[in-house]
């Protein structure tokens, strides 16, 4: 039996949380994107988890969870507060979606605007 014939592939939507059928998929994807930015900054600064915990004012196990994408203990507000502790400005803005676009969540990293979820 050829195993390739047994496999049925389904293309993803671009949001693994939506693909899993989670109700709050857009928010989860936004939180994951912010956590990714935090982890990128921590990696760039070459901080140990203990140093990162001190800087972020959270316990070291929370840093470990953040680094491993375990975000169930982090609210969106908490993640934004961590960005501020990393010397990042957090700006929240709203604008009407273009008629050709779906409304959604975007991140701007100072260089580019990235749609995170719709």
C-alpha to C-alpha distance for 72 and 66, rounded to whole angstroms: 9
Please report whether residue 8 resides in a domain: no
Number of domain units in the chain = 1
Structural domain range at position 76: 24-117
Decide if pLDDT at 17 tops 60. Answer: yes
- The C-alpha atoms of residue 118 and residue 115 are separated, in whole angstroms, by 8
**Domain harbouring 68, CATH code:** 1.10.260.40
pLDDT for 56 equals 98
Domain annotation covers residue 14 = no
Residue 1, pLDDT > 60, answer no
Q: Is residue 10 part of a domain?
A: no
Amino acid 57: pLDDT: 97
- Confidence at residue 20, expressed as pLDDT on a 0 to 100 scale: 72
Average pLDDT rounded to a whole number, residues 11-16: 74
Is the pLDDT at 22 greater than 70? The verdict is no
Global pTM?
0.79
User: Would you state the pLDDT for residue 3?
Assistant: 59
Taking alpha carbons only, the member of 22, 23, 27, 67 closest to residue 48 is 67
1 within a domain of the structure (yes/no): no
Q: What is the mean pLDDT of residues 4-31?
A: 75
Distance in angstroms (rounded) separating the CA atoms of residues 81 and 103: 25
- Mean pLDDT to the nearest integer, 15-36: 81
In-domain check, residue 16? no
Residue 6 is assigned to a structural domain of this protein = no
pLDDT tens digits for 90-117? 988 888 888 777 788 888 877 888 888 7
Would you say residue 28 lies in a domain?
yes
């Amino acid at each position: 039996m050829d195993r390739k014939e047994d496999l049925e592939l389904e293309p993803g939507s671009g949001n693994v949380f939506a693909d899993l059928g989670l109700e709050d998929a857009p928010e989860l994807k936004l939180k994951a994107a912010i956590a990714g930015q935090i982890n990128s900054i921590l990696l760039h600064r070459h901080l140990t988890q203990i140093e990162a915990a001190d800087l972020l004012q959270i316990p070291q196990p929370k840093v470990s969870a953040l680094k491993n994408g375990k975000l169930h203990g982090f609210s969106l507000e908490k993640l934004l507060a961590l960005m501020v502790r990393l010397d990042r400005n957090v700006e929240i803005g709203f604008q009407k979606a273009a008629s050709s676009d779906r409304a959604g969540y975007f991140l701007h990293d100072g260089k580019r605007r990235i749609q995170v979820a719709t």
